[in-house]
Amino acid sequence: MTVLIWVSRASLLAWLWLTFCQGGFWRTDVRLPPRPESARRPDVAIIVPARDEAEVLPLSLPSLLAQQYPGAARVILVDDGSTDGTGELARRLGQAPGSLPLTVTSPGEPPPGWTGKLWALRHGVELAGDAEYLLLTDADIAHRPASLDSLVAAAEGTPDRDYDLVSQMARLRTETRWEQLIVPAFVYFFAQLYPFRWSNRPGSRTAAAAGGCTLVRREALERAGGVAAIRGAVIDDVNLAKAVKRTGGRTWLGLADQVDSVRPYPELAQLWRMVSRSAYAQLRHSILLLVGTVLGLGLVYLVPPVLAVAGLVAGNLDLTYPAAAAWALMAATYVPMLRYYRLPARAALLLPFTAALYLLMTVDSAVQHWRGRGAAWKGRTYPAPQPAARD
């Protein structure tokens, strides 16, 4: 029992550190900076890589074509080998009156060493001409009418506070019970790994972005080596932010108010694939990091409820109090994310169960990698990337 008491205390110490020393990761008030009235409205190219997206494109592409942006903007949809008529559907949607100019193109199959999405993005960047900014957004992301204007205004900022990369974590769908259980935790865990405030701080080693909505200066992208610098990255958004920040760029990441994901994940199986396809890549395909992650998730998320209940059953308050306090901190830090997603605060008590599912997804991601299936997505499987040489 003495060992369990010390494990319980270790879990509480871990939560005290996470709550007060991990960049306030649990806060949800990191939103786009205020829009300066004098901000310029330079030319922007909106680049949308799309592979078999006919199901969601009618919900997302019209929102991009209808952007209310005072400057010049155009949309480039890069059809990445779709077999469901994505390209043809996009062309039809682009014929709506008053739409931004739309180009639909296809780069062909990616060469060895490239992921399909990044090969498509590179093709889109090449077609963007002299646009000063590039908005990289996924085909399942819908934007409110003022989204582009707000992003550019935030990037332009003021002379003493402008950004080379501005990214927003889109508000994901939470309509089904499984989405409500898994999705808020996905964003919560991401913020725990990459606290937004640390990522937004110049000089900080932390850098992250959300691939669904990232506005980047063309000059900063070229300085970072272009899309080719991250050509094989499965987690392309974080690697892009790191490349921009490493080459002197300023980055900003926050939660979105005007950007929403329209992709449905009605069942656990779909959510499982979404997480497991990149979880082991996040650990750099390291067995040591996998073991450490499993042990860490167990100590931080599973120990508190298990030992709190065990202590109550055994009548051992020395065991119960630290574990219950850790569980309370866990729930309290999760509540802001639940409120952001307009879900009841009581759902925070289920976070240990959700964390257990994420632990299993991470292990499954490693197993799939060892079986040679790598990061499988829409008919493609990517092995562990090798360092890319600059063009």
**pTM for the structure as a whole:** 0.93
CA separation (Å) from 270 to 51, 185, 266, 275, 359?
A: 17, 16, 7, 9, 16
Q: What's the pLDDT score for residue 388?
A: 42
Report yes or no: 214 and 240 within 8 Å, Cβ to Cβ: yes
- Contact yes or no for 263/137 (Cβ under 8 A): no
pLDDT score, position 386: 46
Q: What's the rounded Cα separation, in Å, for the pair 349 and 351?
A: 6
d(CA 290, CA 384): 15
Distances (CA, A) of 290 to 15, 38, 250, 332, 360: 21, 49, 31, 27, 11
Q: What is the pLDDT of residue 371?
A: 87
Q: Please, which residues bridge with residue 133 across strands?
A: 44, 217
**CA–CA gap between residue 273 and residue 271 (Å, rounded):** 5
Cα–Cα distance, 156 to 35 (Å, whole number): 9
- How far is it, in rounded angstroms, from Cα 207 to Cα 202? 10
Map out the domains of the chain with their CATH numbers: 2-24+270-370 (no CATH), 44-265 (3.90.550.10)
Q: Mean pLDDT in runs of 10 for the chain (391 residues)?
A: 93 98 97 75 96 97 97 97 96 96 96 94 96 98 96 82 93 97 97 97 94 96 97 93 96 97 95 92 93 97 97 95 98 98 98 98 94 72 52 39
Other CB atoms within 10 A of residue 108 CB? 10
If phi > 0 it is left, if psi is from -120 to 50 it is alpha, else beta; for residue 77 that is: beta
Question: 3-class DSSP state for residue 329?
Answer: helix
> What is the number of alpha carbons within 13 Å of residue 153 lying toward its C-beta?
16
The crossing angle, in degrees rounded to 10, of helices 236-246 and 116-127 is 50
The amino acid that residue 376 corresponds to is A
Query: What is the rounded CA–CA span in Å between residue 96 and residue 91?
Result: 10
Name the residue among 312, 296, 335, 378 with its Cα closest to residue 115.
378
Cα torsion 122, 127, 128, 129 to 10°: value is 130
Identity at 191, one-letter amino acid code: A
Other Cβ atoms within 10 Å of 41 Cβ, number: 16
Helix and strand counts by DSSP (H, E) for the chain = 14, 8
